[in-house]
A and B are shown apart, each in its own frame.
Chain A
Amino acid sequence: MNKIVAKEHFSENVVKLVVEAPLIAKSRKAGHFVIVRVGEKGERIPLTIADADVEKGTITLVAQKIGVSTHKLCALNVGDEITDVVGPLGKATHIENFGTVVCAGGGVGVAPLLPIVKAMKAAGNRVVTVLAARNKDLIILEDEMRQASDEVIIMTDDGSAGKKGLVTEGVESVIKREKVDLCVTIGPAIMMKFVSLLTKKYELPTVASLNTIMVDGTGMCGACRLTVGGKTKFVCVDGPEFDAHQVDFDEMLMRMGAYKELEQADFANKILKK
């Protein structure tokens, strides 16, 4: 059981939770994730760690209400307990001084991108961060990103903040104006696919952090597998970060839809009815 010590609404559907987890706070590194479970009949879902405070013994998670499990998680309040939090899982981000790094985040993917931005900056990189969302209200962690990055470019679909356009346009504008050595992207699979297609064109090495379906998250079930460079890889232990140019994003998008119909029915029964 892990107590929630702080909660903040980034938007109606996106919530930040600060959770007591002293051992995880101590051992986690940028790129790691945890598995959480809400309630005794709860599902095990992976969430990337957005931040940690070793002294306070807390980790920060950002979740978006999508299905039953994320609704239950986001409905918890300060003082409530998350039934299970286990981690840190996966491999940590490979951090070194690459030169200039473009970090491209979309939606709630911006949250797990923050510790990577911080670590890249701390390693001596020039970090340009591109944040993208549908509109101004859905841009999260802008201040924290500005503090951690050398420059922040905001992209919105409707132009209500920053420039109007997609994340790829923001990334491309940087590539066109200066030498970039690495791109890191976290966001919806479809977004990472297009960032990857763009950077491949420019032969810019790119790392994507994948959020596939998982059950145990510890390398036992294989639910998270996907094809990387023609080989089957397990996101929970081989990832979650991979060379984006090698990832079969179409297969990933297909596999992410495996339980869509079942989940929608479950959502209608458990959340909408109430």
Chain B
Amino acid sequence: MAEDRNEAWREELRKSTKNSERLQIPRIHMNELNAHFRARTRDEVNQGLTLEQALQEAKRCLDCPNPTCMKGCPVSINIPGFIKNIERGEVLEAAKVLKQTSALPAVCGRVCPQEKQCESQCSYKINFKKDPVAIGYLERFAADYERESGHMSLPEVAAKNGKKVAVVGSGPAGLSFAGDMAKKGYSVTVFEALHEIGGVLKYGIPEFRLPNNIVDVEIEGLRGMGVEFVKDCIVGKTISMEDLKAEGFQGVFVASGAGLPRFMNIPGENLIGVMSSNEYLTRVNLMDASNEESDTPVLNGMNVAVIGGGNTAMDSVRTALRMGANRAMIVYRRSEEEMPARLEEVKHAKEEGVEFMTLHNPVEYLGDEKGRVKTMRLQVMELGEPDASGRRSPVPVEGKIIDVDVDVVIVSIGVSPNPIVPNSVEGLDVSPKGTIVVGENMQSSIPTIFAGGDIVRGGATVILAMGDGRAAAKAMDEYLNK
């Protein structure tokens, strides 16, 4: 429990409204752009809460003596602490509480799967079988309110301790680590391979879910704390780990993220128009390919199929709609129940008109005389026995094959870890899957190298990556002060 619960204002606030009264307030609905309209624009789908809505939602929180919600948060945000500050109208204070533990609150408020984390542990859900407090919406509200107020606060930064640490990759794991280490007084330099800072927050997650300017503001916040960023620099290629050591970096946090996209190795997969979700989203998000000014092209399909059922698949298929597709389809070999995507993403995709072809699996793509994909051949599936993941495994229904017209196919069935650091550092323990092996404290087989995010997990969420960054910062700080 956070100590701030005993402060006088908190006690008073708890007494001001009876729990029975709080429990009667229904959960707030997120304001959303109209589905028909938004499916053709890049504007953010979720419009955020008004102050009035946020105050009402904050009132629902019971300020439990044992806030179980916090156990569901990978970065242990002081959830009642920030919500009660909203309730008493001190939204800027609420934003400060968020920043104590999260380097990117405006990002987390938008893209965290709260329904599987904090909100799944909310006492409303556990004890009262009611809809949980909308923690994610409130987090986003506080962060947005602060940004729009023009009074951005910087977290307290300790005096410089004279130690230098390096970060490989500027995605969520790297940024979270950088923020925590800067707070502890380290000089932090983040090396990024691409020409933009933000990693998957920039190249992967589309603007209708996470506008780029939101990410930029959070990055500016880290700059304000003294974090330095170096673009166009690949550790393991442009400079080596030895170079970093020679430059006086005492510790390195590797958060180099995703690497090669997986394909299914079926006939026709190299036809023109078949591409990975990484390629499609990078062209549209990072390279801004739909803007006429941009020099990067992208193939815009009328009939677009996205293979896969994860969040990246939802991002891709919803992007395809916004790029002008008439028909945008999700092709997934299991049933909707097994889909790994967030419920909200599936709901939004359906509202926008995405077709869900569940229990279908591509077996071949056929092209025209120029090598452009024109047909996908799908095997109809049914659910069999549960597999190792506990999900019922799909099995083909013999003889049931259908052909569907397509002009763009986006394969979104996962990625393997980025191979550059694992391949370039001698003595680094790497798993057969290509992920960097770390102990509980995120330390690799080389004591000065820590790692986290997708390079360790092989494909996870923004918040798990941020949790890794936070854990690694704590552990590296302890290690360097031994």
Contact = CB atoms under 8 A, between A and B. Distances in A.
Given A86-B193, A219-B259, A232-B269, A257 B294 contact: no
B208 interface: no
Interface stretch (A139-147, A177-185, A186-194, A222-230): A222-230
Interface residues of A, number: 44
Contact of A219 (B194, B293, B370, B418): B418
A254 B272 contact: yes
**Which of B260, B263, B292, B294 gathers the greatest number of chain A CB atoms within 10 Å?**
B260
B295 A266 contact: yes
Contacts of B381: none
A16 interface: no
Contacts of B214: none
Given A23-B238, A24-B238, A222 B276 contact: yes
Given A218-B418, A220-B260, A258-B299, 9 more contacts: A24-B238, A43-B296, A86-B193, A88-B238, A232-B269, A237-B419, A251-B371, A255-B270, A266-B295
B283 interface: yes
A215 B420 contact: no
B232 interface: yes
Interface of B: 193-195, 203, 231-234, 237-240, 258-261, 263, 265, 269-270, 272-273, 275-276, 278-279, 282-283, 287-288, 291-297, 299, 370-371, 415, 418-420
B293 A41 contact: yes
A48 B260 CA distance: 21
A219 B288 CA distance: 20
Contacts of A72: 295
A125 B123 CA distance: 75
B270 A251 contact: yes
Interface of B is mostly: loop
A68 B295 contact: yes
A234 interface: yes
Contact of A257 (B232, B370, B419): B370
Contacts of B269: 232
A86 B233 contact: yes
A85 B232 CA distance: 7
Contacts of A37: 195
A83 B238 contact: no
Contacts of B295: 39, 41-43, 68-69, 72, 266, 270
A221 B418 contact: no
B236 to A, nearest CB: 10
Nearest to A1: B232
Contacts of B272: 254-255, 257-258
A23 B233 contact: yes
A89 interface: yes
Nearest to B273: A258
Contacts of A112: none
A221 B275 CA distance: 8
Contacts of B296: 43-44, 215
